[in-house]
Amino acid sequence: MAISFNGRIIVTSTAAGPALEGMNIACGMKASSGAVDHVELHDGRLTWTTIGSSAPLGPCGTGLLDMVATLLNAGVIQESGRIIEPGKARLDGVRERENIRCFHLLLPSPVNSEGIYLNNKMYGKYSLPKGLWLRESSCCSGRPGCGNLRLKPFIWQAVSVIV
- The answer to whether the beta carbons of residues 156 and 17 sit under 8 Å apart is no
Count of structural domains, the chain:
1
133: Cβ–Cβ under 8 A, 6 or more apart, which residues?
1, 14, 16, 159, 160, 161, 162
Per-residue pLDDT tens over the stretch 72-120: 889 898 877 788 988 888 888 898 888 889 888 888 888 778 888 888 7
Instruction: List the domain range (segments joined by +) for residue 156.
Output: 2-162
Look at residue 25 and tell me whether its pLDDT is greater than 90. no
Sign of the C-alpha dihedral, residues 70, 76, 80, 81?
negative
How crowded is residue 71: how many other Cβ atoms within 10 Å of its Cβ? 26
Mean pLDDT, range 68-75, rounded to an integer: 88
Closest CA to 155 of 136, 113, 127, 117: 127
CA dihedral of 22, 157, 132, 119, whole degrees rounded to 10: -40
Q: Give the integer Cα–Cα distance in Å for 63 and 40.
A: 10
Instruction: Tell me the per-residue pLDDT of 7-19, one tens digit each, with 9 for 90 and over.
Output: 777 666 666 565 5
